[in-house]
A and B are shown apart, each in its own frame.
Chain A
Amino acid sequence: MGVDTIRRDGALCVELSGELDIGSAAQVESRLLELEDGGASERIVIDLRSLGFLDSSGLSLLINADRRARAAGRRLTVVSGNGVPRRILTTSGVDRLLDTVEDLEPGA
């Protein structure tokens, strides 16, 4: 499980790679909390394009991160890519609960 962070145009971009599942979700969540505590920017982007798989624990993580962002007045965007994560987000309806885009707009 990889968690890479980049700041781009004032947004904190968190790139997840590997598998986001019951075995790794807790670790990723605590890393996210760390970043949020460290004064994350107005906008957080969680990029799933390099993610091979996510299960319900992964969905939970995204939903919780979105709730925290809303409570803190931040905007959270999920970049789904067009592979397995997108299918899982669509099937569960999570793509419509969260601000979800298939790709990062050029320059963002």
Chain B
Amino acid sequence: MSGAGPRTAASQEELRAILNGVADAVTAQRPDGELLYANDAAVRSLGFSSQEELLTTPVAQVITRFEFFDESGQPVPVEALPGRRALLGDPAPEPLLVRSRRQGDPGERWVRIKAAPVLDAAGRPVLAINVMEDVTEVQLASESSRFLAEAGTILASSLDYQTTIGNVARLAVPRIADWCAVDMLEDGRIRHVVVAHADPGKVELAVDYQRRWPVEPADPTGVPNVLRTGEPEIFPEIPDDLLAASIEDPEQLEVIRSLGMRSVMIVPMEARGRRLGAVTLVSAESGHSFGDRDLALAQALASRCALAIDNARLYGERANIARTLQESLLPPELPQPPGLEIAARFRAAGEAFEVGGDFYDVFPTGGDAWAAVIGDVCGKGPEAAAVTALARYTLRATAMREQLPSRVLATLNEAMLRQRSDRRFCTVLYAILDAGEAGTQVRFASGGHPLPLVIRHDGSVEEVGEPGTLLGIVQDPELADDAISLRPGESIVLYTDGVTDAAAPDIVREPRDVAQMAGAGADDSAEDIADRVLGAAMADSGVAEPRDDIAILVLRACPAARLHGVYGSRAAVPNR
């Protein structure tokens, strides 16, 4: 090795210069703990102005200026530091990541401490060389991205943004601030959505404050200003004279002072060009002063919140459009034709914005006759809804001039073939009911639809009619007319295939099973029967949603007693 010559034999001066040029703090520590050497970075990071000052200060005094915490926030005792362990005989102590806080300095630093012992000839440690790497930037950046990822998960967990935003605010304290408040702009008014603080008692204080001194939209600073301008506000420090100058009410000033605000930032929530609200973050107990990095994190958080709120709004709008459309395809309330008792049930399958599918209708056809319709359009969505609308209004219009159910369905078939090229078909059961004192005459035809069930007065149930061809596919569908008569108290049940197939393919019901579900005592009302059929179909599908829409329409000839009630006054008039 000596052959390497003067090039490796650096002078002590050169060694010092080299070590002082190292960015990491380097110290050499004797077995009694006192420092033998510290480079410039170590002098700075330990808060001294010169090497002499540091090296002449007893190490116990240096150490007491600092508090160390591990990643989970637990205090780290001095004995656990790698240098101490090296001096106690550990040949290769594990590096330790600590959060260090210097007395009187609110800023925290993340430091990775590594140490190695220097051994004498007997193998005893005579020095520990400590290298302390400041990893604050890396650590804060990874904490920020972890925080944003967690916030993103919460925001994506539900479309109920009131709840998710509240949970995000609670996630933010005390990780990025001591207080977090979210306000929304609604129709030009500011609405408080949430105030969060780790201490529930403090939350009450803040809520009380918001109630007693509400923000005014015209306020020159704060949330109203951020909502007006879209520009964030940041106050790294809030000196008391600033508070005193901006708040006139002495009581309000006192409450504000009691909150101990040290630093504040308010950032707008904007998504898709809309300003939706603002997030306010306040530092108090932690003593942290917000800077550019904090502002960037707050803005990233606010834009995620804004997007979640806007998504929920869009979903809500879409669901609302679908609901309105769906309602326009079903009668808002069922008519009460004389001599008939009518009950209907409808359960939509799938997401709230998927319209279309099943429909039903009951309407007068002129004279004393009433039409009852139930149908099922292939598929879901706006195109299916358009077919439903076409079917419903074509049937209503045709019913006024066509008396034969098969002709009414044939007209709808033609209309579908003429007006639509997408081969979207539907199945329809169309019935005309004439209620009279002797009972009710029912004439009906099926266009590919499950056939009606008739519940007789003795509780027996039968499927009636003949299958026909679904509508909207061929020019000449097979459509047959059938007729039955209902005696007082007897019912006809129309339904869609959701009733048989709600739990398909695990449970598939045949019409005779539906008949069994519908089977009833003679005294059961139309409502009772509808409930029983729906209940059985829903029970099949268990807790899950039905896989297909379910529509049920029950028409019952009023029992004799009720019929007399209805026609009583008529019967008293001679010659009617």
* A binding-site residues for B, Cβ under 8 Å: 18-19, 21-22, 52-53, 55-57, 59-60, 63-64, 84, 87-88, 90-94, 96-97
Q: Which of B470, B505, B508 contacts A59 (CB 8 A)?
A: B470
Nearest residue (CB) in A for B449 is A91
Nearest residue (CB) in B for A88 is B497
Mark contacts of B474-513 with chain A using CB atoms, 8 A cut-off: 1 yes-contact digit, 0 otherwise. Answer: 1001100000000000000000010001001100101000
Q: Are A84 and B376 in contact (CB under 8 A)?
A: no
Chain B interface mostly helix, strand, loop or mixed? Answer: loop
B548 within 8 A of A: yes
Give bound CA distance, A90 to B548, whole Å: 19
Contacts beyond the supplied A55-B501, A93-B447: 17 A-B pairs with Cβ under 8 Å: A19-B505, A52-B504, A53-B505, A55-B504, A56-B379, A63-B423, A63-B425, A64-B423, A84-B504, A84-B505, A87-B510, A90-B467, A91-B449, A92-B427, A92-B448, A92-B449, A96-B469
Residues on A with C-beta less than 8 A from B448 are 91-94
**Can you give 28 contacting A-B residue pairs, CB < 8 Å?**
A19-B504, A19-B505, A21-B547, A52-B505, A52-B508, A53-B504, A53-B508, A55-B501, A55-B547, A56-B376, A57-B378, A57-B379, A59-B425, A59-B470, A60-B378, A60-B423, A64-B423, A84-B505, A91-B449, A91-B450, A91-B451, A91-B497, A92-B470, A93-B448, A93-B478, A96-B469, A97-B473, A97-B474
Query: Chain A's nearest CB lies how many Å from the CB of B389?
Result: 18
Which B371-423 residues sit within 8 Å CB-CB of chain A?
A: 376, 378-380, 423
- Interface residue tally on B, bucketed by range: 20 to 34
Q: Are B474 and A60 in contact (CB under 8 A)?
A: no
Query: Chain A's nearest CB lies how many Å from the CB of B543?
Result: 20
Give bound CA distance, A21 to B504, whole Å: 10
Closest 9 CB pairs of A and B: A93-B469, A52-B505, A53-B505, A56-B378, A92-B448, A53-B504, A93-B448, A92-B470, A84-B508
Residues on A with C-beta less than 8 A from B473 are 63, 97
Give bound CA distance, A22 to B357, whole Å: 12
- Given A56-B376, A56-B378, A60-B423, check contact A93 B470 (CB 8 Å): yes
B439 within 8 A of A: no
Q: Are A93 and B477 in contact (CB under 8 A)?
A: yes
Q: Are A56 and B504 in contact (CB under 8 A)?
A: no
Give bound CA distance, A82 to B80, whole Å: 78
Give bound CA distance, A87 to B473, whole Å: 19
Residues on B with C-beta less than 8 A from A18 are 505
Residues on A with C-beta less than 8 A from B449 are 91-92
Residues on B with C-beta less than 8 A from A90 are 467
Residues on A with C-beta less than 8 A from B427 are 56, 91-92
Query: Chain A's nearest CB lies how many Å from the CB of B102?
Result: 62
Residues on A with C-beta less than 8 A from B268 are none
Nearest residue (CB) in A for B427 is A92
Give bound CA distance, A97 to B471, whole Å: 11
Most buried by A among B450, B469, B477, B505: B505
B232 within 8 A of A: no
Residues on B with C-beta less than 8 A from A22 are 379-380
Give bound CA distance, A56 to B470, whole Å: 10
Q: Which of B379, B380, B470 contacts A94 (CB 8 A)?
A: B470
B468 within 8 A of A: yes
Most buried by B among A18, A22, A64, A92: A92
Give bound CA distance, A68 to B450, whole Å: 28
